[in-house]
Each structure stands twice: as structure tokens, then as C-alpha cells.
Structure 1
């Protein structure tokens, strides 16, 4: 099928995916019911499994695909954090947002709508709502790169592991990975029949159930799995206007994989996934305000640091994320040829209420939107990788992607006109979007100069073609463009193209069989962008220059005490030029707007530690610490900004200087193959600035969250029941702080207060 046909057929993706997923669910369920015997095939890649034979206790070898080939974590010259799928299931962590407490180098830019949320690694991430900007942190699912930052908020289902690659990874993972990569690897089908049921219930009315089945449809030739998710949460913010809780969600999802082996050296795969989520997070919850009239208008809301109430029209987000991918792996004598072809679609409909009001008054307008996103992408990657341990081990490939992003935003303003002494309405409709095409050729090789010394070289050449369109029809006359945050009618379009180079070079040296060191230099590249958004003006039409980075990293990976103790260290320094970010601008007339700019030069440097100590078969300690200083070196003020602050030397947003995660896991064996499992986890971070403009009100003070659990596990019958306590010390904190016209507002996180959960899992 030619590319234009493939893109045209994206509008039929939802129906075809639903049919395919229903078929896979039916076939796998029949397989599960008819085949005899119950045998669970454990994944060969579990992050913290223990080998215990003849009283020898060791940490199991962790295998990753960080270099597009399977390698031991301790041998790969990249700073990588691994999160096992089973461990995430036991903690009931079901989204990428949850990993920020597990991996100290990762942070999350939280907003009320997932369209504008994004991941940060080592202090660098995407601060923009424009569809013309790529994420700095690349999210990859089974080798398929997601094109928009908001897609990274998807729910996790049937995860084998998550690999967090820290620092620029542009050589092998593409140009939109200048800060790092979050690679999600889902579970493959098993040959033997297996299945599971995982249920979760909390005392504040969150419910979740996951179930799945796997096995051979044709023994030795065709196998499949299917997994389903249903979840609901009422929310932890009370809305006086509607009389019910908000900040909750309802999710339904299905994922299925088929694996076909027509011969011993050829494997074909088909993956389908569909997740639909409805949520109602408020745009903001009032923390403080000096406007007494506004406080009276939203009463009985009482502003405070721990406020969890609003009085406003309900805000909703309707989100659908779905995709289909075809993979092929052909094994030759000395090489593996791999192909991944994928179609994905992301639809998002949101209804934010900007003035946080239940209704308009003579003093305050009611301003709200209905925004629609339709993002479609097609990608094709072809790779060849060497097998075995020759003088040079390499991977090379070609990549192509085409992305269409269309958005529709309708904005309404209901306000009191003092001239006519009557309420009036303003309205505007904007249609805008982008089209991008990306071509790349890449390769990376490891030259084995000796048994202990290796040279690393890699290069990627990328060609970007980007265009945009924007048209807004408005009832606002040109003379009153600042009224109610709706600007006058306008139409613009443009296009650009760039060729960028990224790559990596370095050396790797084995001090001993258990101690490995490396030093690398990486060049990162993120392509050009346009500031395309609802209130786009003529001043926003110039292209935003590509963002580039130069990164230096020194790493040490080691195992001690007969492989009971694993200690990995990384020290890095990275400079970014033409950093792409949104910045709040005050124009000459006093109007405030948000513009995408090349913010200038920023840098990030620090030290990261990952440690695991398996003291004995029943006691394990984990510690991860990151000291990262992400700073603005030279800020480039936007043109015509009448009040640009001096932010040089100040921290980048969403990046605390210190973060740590410590966990103790204790197992107490009891009779009949059962054991009690105790877990205690503590995550802490230093103060965090949420605003690149360095607003003193938007600083989150240091805080720590303590989670704990106690469970009973029957290893013979493969079931486990556990009591989970989240936020034991009942510590309130902010997922985000932002100022608006009437005060300071916060986003309330899921674990803003203590709650209890009961989980049950049965494996078949």
C-alpha cells in the first residue's frame, strides 16, 4: 500500500482495531479454556530476580535493548534505569507519570489535560502546547516512536519492562530524543497456556481490573496473547458546582499480540492496542488570591496550600490512543534484519474552563474552550544488526515517518458589557495543524580493539519537512483584541525543511569482569518548529530554529560481593543551543500571551547512582539518587516583550536539584509455600520551580512521599493479596503550580493525601 493510501486509511483505524482486538480476545479466550495444564512462562528479562542455587544468592543478569540489540545492562555504555513490569503491577503503578518516583532523573510536567503534559529527563523536556513541536523525551512502544508529548500519558498494560535511557539518544532512537528515551517493552505471547487476573480497590473509590491470556493457537507456529483493562476513580477534588468529586477518570483498554514463526529463522509479529480514557481534572485549584471579589464569587471554596475544592463548570478530557504495528525479524548466519511498520492515531477532546468560575458576573467573564486533536502517524523502520562477537558489532538502518496533526478549538466568552449593561458573548473558531515528514539513515558500531577495550561510533542524518496552517474566525474586532483572551480573525500558513546530524562516539573499558567504564560524547538534534496555537498571531509565524545539544558522559557499571551488589554511576554535562520552550510574554499594551521561542542556551549537569543489594534471598535494598543542576545559561528574550525578566543562572522548570528513591523489600517464608511480603518505599526531592519565568509563587518546597505494603504470596498456587498504603505520612504537595489572572492555582496529584488499597493477583 502506498503511503498516501496508508495515511488515508487512518480514519478507519478505530473500527478495524476494535474488530481485531475483539477477535484476538475471543481466540485467546477459547485457547485458554480448551487447553489443559497451567504453566506460567516467566519473562527472561526481570529486573531484580534472584538466582538461589546451592546457597548462592545473586542478582540475575538484566538484558536490555538500549542499543537496538539485546545486551546485558552492565555491558551497555548508556545510563539506563530499568523498571520491571511485575514490580509495576505489584505497586499498582499504571501510567508513565508514576515512574517519576522510581527514577530520580525523570520528572513530569503535569497539566489538567494530557495533551499538554510531558516527560522530562535530566531537567530537559518539552514546554509547549503547539502541535508543531516534537517532544525532547522520546516515548517508544515496542520500537514505535510516538510523535506527540501528550501520548506519553497512556495507561500501561501488559508491560514486560520499561527502559529509561538518560541523555541524548538521537543516533538510534531519532531526532526527538535530545533529553532521553522511555522505551516500553510489552510482553510477548507464550507457547504454553497462561493467564492472569489482577484486581485493585482503594478506600477512596478507585477500582481497577486487568486480565489476560496467552498461548499457542498452532503449537510451534502461531501464538497470541490478549490483555484487557478497566478502571475508574471518582477523584480527590470536590466541585461545589456539580456536587460531586472530580479529578478522576474512567479507562478501558485492550492490547493483543500475535507471533507467527513460518520457519526457524523468521518471526512475524502483529500488535494491536486501544485505550480510551475519560477524565475530569480541573484546570486549577485555588491556592491563594488577593482579589476578594473573586474569592467571594467562587465561595464556598477556601484558598489554601491543601485546597481540594473548586466551584466551576465541569472540565472533561476524552482521550483515545490506538495503534497497529507489523514486525519482522529474519535471522541469517551472522545478521538479523528487522522491520517495524506502524500506524497510530491519537484523538483528544478537552473542555477547559479558564476563569475557574461557576458562571459569569458583572466583574468576571466566563471563558471556556472545546478543543479537538486528531493526530495520525505512519512510520517504517528497517534495521540490520550483526550477531556474535566479531571485531565490529553494529546496527544500521533507515527510518521514515509521516505525521498529520489537525486541531480545532472553539472559544467562548460570556461577559458583562458595562456600556449596554447587559451580558454579551464573544466567539472564535480556529482550525490549525501541521504536517511533518522525517527521513533518516543511521548506524552505530562497537569496535572490539581488545578483550577489554572498545571504541563506539555512531551517526544519524535526518531530513525534516514541516508545514503548518492556521485560520481563526472571531467576533472580536481588531481594536479589542485583548478583550476576553480572544484575538481577531487571522489566517497564516508556512513551511520549512532542515537537515540535521546527530551521533555518538566514545570508548569503553573493562577494569575487570564485573567493573565496566565508558566515556561518550553525544550530539543531539531536534528539528524546526512552529508556534501553532489557538491565539496565533502574525508575530508567531517565523520558524523556530532546531534545538541541538552536546553531551559528555562518564559511566561506571559494577557488580560486587559475588554479584549480590550492583552499583552503577553516571556523571554528565550537556549544553543545549536554541532551546525550544514556551514563555509568558507581556506586550507593549500590557496584554499577556504565551509564545514558543528559541529560549537561548541552557545546560544540565549532574551525578546519578543506581544501586541494588540482595543481602539474602529474603531481603533486598534498592537506592537511586540523582543530583542534577539544570540551569538557564543565556536567555534570549522574545521580541517586543516589555517585561522580560533576567533568568540567567536560574533553574529550568520541573527539575529539582536532588531526588532519591529508596526501597526495602522483605520476605518472610511461612508454611505451605507461602510467604509474607513487606515493602517500604520513600521518595524525596528538593524544591522545584514550575515556571521558566522564575515566578516566586510557583516553587514547590521540598517534600517526601512514603509508601508501604504488606502481602501474602502463595508461590505454589501463584496468587498474591496485598494491602497498600500510599502517602503514609499524609503529605500534601503540588503536581504543578501556575499563576492566572485571579491568583495562584495548583494541580492536585493522585496521592495528595493518604489512602489505602487492596490488590489481588492470580496467575494461571
Structure 2
């Protein structure tokens, strides 16, 4: 693929200015090797990592072995707990604040939330539809991204790998992955404790204790609790909503009977709930609920004033979710001479109940009280075994096998007055894969990397429509099987120990599936599974460090093509009829530039910054669903009724050449941490975090689902012990009180096809303050 694929037009000039300024504006404590308060390098997950030699070394396990991130020919961001705190990120959905290529769009419940990298994600509600961005905890994949949508306690670091990662991580990482690394047992007793309280009644606390039980056995145990009532008021019953409550706990026991054997058993448990609110932010004054005379807004939503700053709803059902999950894994690392054999066995179980006031009103008449109630049930078993050669050899390799069995179930009911649904569905996916990756330094400082994965997957489903009547069948089942090969190749040249260039070509794969949602019928069953989505990615990068590694600048250019893109569209079925569903719509191209810089300016000032320019467009999407209220003048091709010889053609729009949804053109984050001496053993704390995102479309071309560009500034002031054994920080998040929406919903169909737009409000929709306390011993 020629370098011309990276021509991005005049915007490169704009980014050029950012490249020149970024080293002055950027860098951070998260780019220094992760350490505990005493300054000892934190243990890495996976094979033992060498201790960082100098300032600026960061150990990652992106290639399933411990490596200095500056030597890895991948686009990897490393997020530390300190950086998360400075940015105000306490939940998984906040990670987009500190990783500019990452966007997390919330929904009315976590399972419907979406994670995207470089403008690529999965926008679907089916239980068998996997994400394009994999989420792992300690290298163990989560079946549901929703499993991660809670607090981030006991985090040592978070690695965000951008671009297809299917060769080492499988079919759920076609756009990238997020690997959350938690703390490991330590050789001496360590205690970390944190507490937080805010001016708008958020409270949280967590702790992590680790140490030795004997000379060969160590432990770590952690727990976290958080509660926030929310920032939306339900005028129907006076309750606060759009909040959350969660309890997490995790424990690990590590036994090292000999120097060549390490056995780690870990377990986790989570229990929580969320309250759901979708305030109306724009409604036509003449809109009528269900287009029924007399059902005006004051009648169905008494007391609610519609505006872009509205924080009130009127619902006669408490929309909410409650969830519980538990699991664990057993990790064995065995030295076989110079080789290391690693086995990871995991089990996970997750159960979520969701309740939604589907009409979003408090009207109690015949058309009101339309609600939906459902469950998500998941359990997963995985097994990975891999063999690795020593990292110090010119030729080093990793070979392994992987097995996963994932089961989902979804009972769902909606009604009783409109949009009726009552069904039960199950989905199972069984995957077997073998993978290998090798690095060969065939010339001094010049290393070639190659990898391949062969995976076989079988998917099965059942679907029972409890509303169907004879003669239509009410029960469907089916299965499909597919074998796929993904691979990658890269070349890197280390000009000096502090300057490396690389080029990488990788392919990605996202497995086939069935769209098990309301409306599944005989036609959908006959159409078979949705085809696998495939990607081809090319990257060029430079990894640079200067001034004794006190300044780091990492630059990546990328260009990725997606074929058989899985997205919501209109599908022509086996009998010639059409409907709306998740299907293969065509293609998407995403290309851009990513810059990440860090600087340590003396012992007191750390800066970090990152910026992404993104150009993500549909290369083929000829038949897309029209958005509500779209007309022929705005691009909706009119429907064609059926004739005796031709089937009906529903209305559609052509999105080929348009910008992808949830893909802002520009996104950056900048943080500063200044700790001047106050005399004695005290240091001051001054923290600044600035986030910017350009405009984004949440549904193609829909003007009601458009979010203009915005920026958020967070600040913190405090004091700490010079050895960081304690610190207290007062903070203000969203200092300039900027309002924005991370998700919007068009519900014009409920209001006589007149404008009716709802929003999900972010945690920092309004400015708030608080205090954080940390203890480290």
C-alpha cells in the first residue's frame, strides 16, 4: 500500500502546528514507569519485567510479554491512576477523556453502550453481537463490555491498543482493545486507600492491601464502594436519577514454590445499580404524545421545561438497572529452562436486569405506562496456553492456543400499548484458535515481527417470539461455523536507544453473528448469519525520547479499511421483502494522525498531552435507514410500494462518502501536575486537565443528534507528603460549566413525527467540586 494512503489534505498543516507545540504542552506522570509510593516499580502482569533503567521507561504487555512501550511497534496508550484522577475519570465510561482516539457513548443501560476506537465501534443491541473493541482485565477478555462499566478500583495501569489486534487477541479486537491491569501481590506489606466526596453528593472509597503470607505466598485484596444520586430530577416522584451505586471487590493469591513456578488465583465480585434518565432537550411546541388530541407536553410531562439545559423528567416508572457479576481466573507461569509456559483459565458470570419507562412520560391513560423489562445473562469460560522464548534473544517468539465458550440469554418484554414485544433469545459462541508471533533482529537495531492466528468459531442461537400466532412459527434456531486467518507484519529500526521508527500491516476479524432483537422472524432466520467483518490496517510510527528521556514524543499515522462492515441498515430478505436490522452494509475507511507527548520538567512539574486527527468515512453504505423526520430534500429516497411483480422498497438514504458516526475529527487531552516544595516534608499540588472534542454526529445526518465541539477543564489544588504517603486535593471539574451530551436519542415517533429529542447527561454536565484523600503505606 503506497504512502499516499496517508494524505489527509489540508488538515495535516493544522496538525503540524500541534506537533510543534505539543512537546511544550504535554507530558505526564503516567509516562513515568508505574511506581508505588516508595518509588519501587510496580509489578507487571505476565512474565517478570526488567526494572526501568531510567526516567521515562514504561512496561506494557501489549504483545503478551513485558516490554518497554518505546520498543513496541504498536499504537499503545498507557493510562495511570494519577492521570485518571487528574482528568476526573472514576468510571470506565470516562476513559475517553484521557485517550483521544477512544470514544465511549453511554446508553440507557450499560449493555447498549458503545466503545469505539478511531471512529470504529459496534452500534447494535443484539446479545450475540460482539464489540469491535475488546475489553480485558489482566489479559482475560470480558464477554460484555457492560461488565466493565463500573468503578476503576485497584488499577495499576490501563493499556489502550489502537487498530486491529486480532492476531494475538482474537475476533473481538478488530478495532483495538482496552486492557485493564490490576495490582499484583507484593513482597512487602503495602496499603493504598482513597476516599472522595463532592458538592453534588457523590461519595466513594476504595482500598488495596498486599503483602506476603510466607516466603512463597503473597496476596492482594481490594474493595471499592461508590454512590451518586444523579443530576436529573424526576418531578413525578421527587427522586434524583441518572445516578449509580456500585460495590467491587477483588482478591489474588500468588504462590511461588520455586524460582521457576508462579501460580496466581484471583477472584472478583461486583454488585451495583444505575438509575436511568433521558431528559427532553428539544420538542416541538405542537407535539402530541402518540399524536393524540389533548396529550400535550404539560399533560404528559407536567412541570418539565424543555431546553438544552433541562435536568428534569416526569416518568411514572423508575427506569433503572441492577446487576451482579462474579468470576475468577487461575494463572500459572512455569519456567522450562529458558522458556516460559503460561496458562490462564477463567470463568465469568454476569446478570443484569433493566427497566425502562419506554414512553418517557408520567401519563397514566391508555397510551401511557408503556414500559420495557428485560434481563441479560452471561457466562463465559476461557483457556489460553502459550509458550514464550527469552526476551533477550535476537530471535524470540510466542506460540499459543486459545479456547472460549460464551453463553448469553435475553428475555424481553415491552408494552402493553405500542411497540409490543415479548421474546426469549439465547446465543452461544465457541471459539478455538492457535496463534504465533515472532521477532527477529536480523541486523543490528533492525527487527522484523510476524504473527498469524487461525481461529474457528461456531455460533448457535434460539429465538422464541411469544407474541407470534399461528400459522407463523414462534420458535427459531440455527447455527453457523467459520474459520478465519488473521496476520500481521512489522519492521522497526532503532536508530538510537531513544529513537525508533516502525511500519506495521495487520488484518482484523470480527465474527459472524445473528441479530437477535425485536422483529426476528422467519425471514431473518432464512437469511442466515451476518457475515464476518474484516479490516486491513497500515501504520507508520516514530517513538522518540530526548533530554535523558525526560521528553517523549510518539507519532503514529494510520489507515484502516473495513469490509463487510456490520451496522444497522435495510436488508432484503430471502422472500424479497425488506426490514431494518444489523447487517453487512459495505465498507468504512478511517485514517489519521495520533501524537502523544510527555515531559518531566525538573522534579516538580510533569506534563502530558495527546491529540488525534481522524478522518473516518463510509466507503460503501448505499442503503441506510432514514432518520426520523428526514425528507427527500434532506436525502431520504422515498419508499416504493409493492406491485404484483415487485416487492416494496422502504425509504432509505445513501451514506457513502459521509463521516462515520461517533467519529470526531479532532480530539485532544492535556494534563499538568506541579508539586513544589512547601518546606519541611510537604509538597503542594496543582493539577490541570483540559479536554477538547470537535463536533460529532450520533446518527448519520440527523440534525437532532448532533453534538457541537466542546472543551472541559478540571483543576485541583492540595498538599502531599514528600514521599506521597498521603495527599489531600480539592478539585473542581468542568470549571467553566460547559454543557454537552455524550448521547442523544430521537423519539419523534412517540410524538406524532414532530421533533422530540432526548439526551443522556454526562457526570460533569454541570460544574461540581470535591475533595480527594489518598493514603499509601
TM range (shorter): 0.7 to 0.9
Change (3 A) 1:72 1:459: same
- Whether 1:727 aligns to 2:765 is no
CA distance in 1, matches of 2:455, 2:286: 51
Q: Structure 1 residue 242: deviation in Å?
A: 1.8
Q: Which residue number corresponds to residue 256 of structure 1?
A: 251
Q: Structure 1 residue 562: deviation in Å?
A: 2.1
**Structure 2 residue corresponding to 1:44, chosen from 42, 45, 55:** 42
Change (3 A) 1:131 1:604: same
CA distance in 1, matches of 2:361, 2:470: 27
Q: Which residue number corresponds to residue 619 of structure 1?
A: 605
**Structure 1 residue corresponding to 2:347, chosen from 343, 349, 371:** 343
Number of aligned residue pairs: 692
CA distance in 1, matches of 2:391, 2:337: 9
Q: Which residue number corresponds to residue 352 of structure 1?
A: 356
Paired residues for 1:214-613 under 5 Å: 214-218=210-214, 220-283=215-278, 285-294=280-289, 295-296=297-298, 297-312=300-315, 313-361=317-365, 364-414=367-417, 428-474=421-467, 490-541=474-525, 542-583=528-569, 594-613=580-599
Question: For the Cα contact (< 8 Å) 2:166–2:172, is it kept in 1?
Answer: yes
CA distance in 1, matches of 2:345, 2:114: 25
Question: For the Cα contact (< 8 Å) 1:585–1:644, is it kept in 2?
Answer: no
CA distance in 2, matches of 1:128, 1:198: 37
CA distance in 2, matches of 1:249, 1:640: 46
Most deviating of 711-720 and 753-762: 711-720
Change (3 A) 1:298 1:733: same
TM-score, normalization by structure 1: 0.87
Q: Give a deviation string over 1:239-277, Cα, whole Å, max 9, x none.
A: 011211100011111111111011111000011111111
Question: For the Cα contact (< 8 Å) 1:405–1:433, is it kept in 2?
Answer: yes
CA distance in 2, matches of 1:195, 1:316: 35
**Structure 2 residue corresponding to 1:125, chosen from 115, 121, 127:** 121
Q: Structure 1 residue 322: deviation in Å?
A: 1.9
CA distance in 1, matches of 2:660, 2:407: 30
**Structure 2 residue corresponding to 1:712, chosen from 701, 710, 719:** 719
Question: For the Cα contact (< 8 Å) 1:585–1:643, is it kept in 2?
Answer: no
Q: Which residue number corresponds to residue 32 of structure 1?
A: none
Structure number with the bigger relative contact order (C-alpha 8 A, sep ≥ 6) is 2
Most deviating of 81-90 and 317-326: 81-90
- Whether 1:690 aligns to 2:698 is yes
Q: Structure 1 residue 410: deviation in Å?
A: 2.0
Matched residue SS, 2:675 = strand
Question: For the Cα contact (< 8 Å) 1:237–1:245, is it kept in 2?
Answer: yes
CA distance in 1, matches of 2:585, 2:116: 17
Change (3 A) 1:298 1:222: same
Change (3 A) 1:355 1:286: farther
CA distance in 2, matches of 1:442, 1:585: 35
CA distance in 1, matches of 2:112, 2:87: 26
Question: For the Cα contact (< 8 Å) 2:88–2:733, is it kept in 1?
Answer: no
Paired residues for 1:152-171 under 5 Å: 152-171=148-167
CA distance in 2, matches of 1:234, 1:733: 20
CA distance in 1, matches of 2:774, 2:183: 17
CA distance in 1, matches of 2:349, 2:551: 44
CA distance in 2, matches of 1:206, 1:754: 13
Paired residues for 1:202-213 under 5 Å: 202-213=198-209
Gaps of 5+ in 2: 1-35, 45-52, 290-296, 625-646
Most deviating of 142-151 and 131-140: 142-151
Matched residue SS, 1:99 = helix
Q: Which residue number corresponds to residue 27 of structure 1?
A: none
Change (3 A) 1:583 1:154: farther
Change (3 A) 1:129 1:105: same
Question: For the Cα contact (< 8 Å) 2:86–2:671, is it kept in 1?
Answer: no
Q: Which residue number corresponds to residue 679 of structure 1?
A: 687
CA distance in 1, matches of 2:649, 2:182: 47
Paired residues for 1:662-677 under 5 Å: 662-677=670-685
Q: Which residue number corresponds to residue 20 of structure 1?
A: none
CA distance in 1, matches of 2:667, 2:724: 39
Instruction: Give the RMSD, CA atoms, in angstroms.
Output: 2.3
Change (3 A) 1:341 1:284: farther
Matched residue SS, 1:125 = coil
Q: Give a deviation string over 1:365-410, Cα, whole Å, max 9, x none.
A: 4321111111000000001111143231111100000011011112
CA distance in 2, matches of 1:39, 1:596: 49
Q: Structure 1 residue 156: deviation in Å?
A: 1.4
Change (3 A) 1:58 1:215: closer
Q: Structure 1 residue 492: deviation in Å?
A: 1.4
Q: Structure 1 residue 40: deviation in Å?
A: 5.7
Question: For the Cα contact (< 8 Å) 2:596–2:609, is it kept in 1?
Answer: yes
CA distance in 2, matches of 1:410, 1:368: 8
Paired residues for 1:174-185 under 5 Å: 174-185=170-181
Question: For the Cα contact (< 8 Å) 1:285–1:747, is it kept in 2?
Answer: no
CA distance in 2, matches of 1:520, 1:550: 11
Q: Which residue number corresponds to residue 76 of structure 2?
A: 80
**Structure 2 residue corresponding to 1:188, chosen from 157, 181, 184:** 184
CA distance in 1, matches of 2:722, 2:579: 59
Q: Structure 1 residue 540: deviation in Å?
A: 2.6
Question: For the Cα contact (< 8 Å) 2:401–2:435, is it kept in 1?
Answer: yes
Question: For the Cα contact (< 8 Å) 1:142–1:185, is it kept in 2?
Answer: yes
Question: For the Cα contact (< 8 Å) 1:360–1:414, is it kept in 2?
Answer: no
Question: For the Cα contact (< 8 Å) 1:505–1:521, is it kept in 2?
Answer: yes
Change (3 A) 1:140 1:76: same
Q: Structure 1 residue 93: deviation in Å?
A: 2.4
CA distance in 2, matches of 1:533, 1:410: 11
CA distance in 2, matches of 1:427, 1:176: 32
Q: Structure 1 residue 717: deviation in Å?
A: 7.1
